[in-house]
Amino acid sequence: MTEDQIVSLIAGKVVARIRAAARGDGRKLLPVNISARHIHLSAGDVAALFGQGHQLTKLKDLMQPGQFACAETVAVVGPKGRFSQVRVLGPVRGDTQVEVSVTDARFLGLAIPIRMSGNIEGTPGITLEGPAGRVTIPRGVIVAARHIHLGAADAERFGVKHGQRVRIRTAGARPLTFDDVLVRVSDQFIPEMHVDTDEGNAAGIRDGDLVEILG
């Protein structure tokens, strides 16, 4: 069995577990994963930071199909602070984007807006350092807005639509309700919620915990 087949099998089992749980008591359940600070790079910035012709090295697959963590890391340098070894996520994108938490933003010394991934107009830039060079991007630093991914069939089953805002309830010792959670629907998605480290720590959740869509 190939690596991609193994990943597909694991993802399929996760989805099957979610659907079985939802059928059992009528709740709309999906797993949550915590996104630590990370960076998406354009092809040009990959070359500038790691050398001409460099190809990103897959370290492990992420839950969403086609997305993966890379072996490569870069330093992110702000006006007041810096983070070393910030993980690069693949594949390459059209624009470089750095995603941090509000706590990270304060450490770096930047006022960073909360945005959905890809919406980088009017966002601050930052300096990146790699083993082969240094790049200052003019924009692209965001605090990622919390959101959920759903395939079309799961969105229909849950009664939600792409672009809708919903409330999500966590469980455990520190249960919280997150408001204004954006629903993103695509046939390429499998059910998953993304929060950043600040939100995950506040709710006391761990990767893979199930959360509930309230409406």
The pLDDT value given to residue 173: 86
pLDDT score of 20 more than 50: no
Distances (CA, A) of 76 to 9, 99, 109, 112, 141: 35, 11, 12, 14, 10
* Nearest residue to 132 via CA among 58, 75, 82: 75
Mean pLDDT of 48-61: 97
Residues 47-64 as b/e (b if ≥16 CB within 10 A, e otherwise) read: bbbbeeebebeeeebbbb
| Nearest one of 121, 120, 124 to 112, comparing CA atoms | 124
What's the confidence (pLDDT) of residue 5? Answer: 40
CATH 2.40.40.20 fits 3-34+145-213, yes or no: yes
Closest CA to 100 of 44, 162, 144: 144
pLDDT digits (tens, 9 = 90+) for 196-209: 999 999 999 999 99
**Tell me: the pLDDT tens digits for 105-151?**
999 999 999 999 999 999 999 999 999 999 999 999 999 999 999 99
pTM: 0.86
Report how far residue 194's alpha carbon sits from residue 31's, in angstroms, rounded to the nearest whole number. Answer: 9
Q: What is the mean pLDDT of residues 150-169?
A: 96
Domain boundaries along the sequence of the chain? 3-34+145-213, 36-144
* Rounded mean pLDDT, 23-28: 70
Distance CA 204, CA 206 (A): 7
pLDDT of residue 25: 63
Q: Which residue has the tokens 């919406």?
A: 119
Asked if omega into 91 is within 30° of 0 (cis), the reply is yes
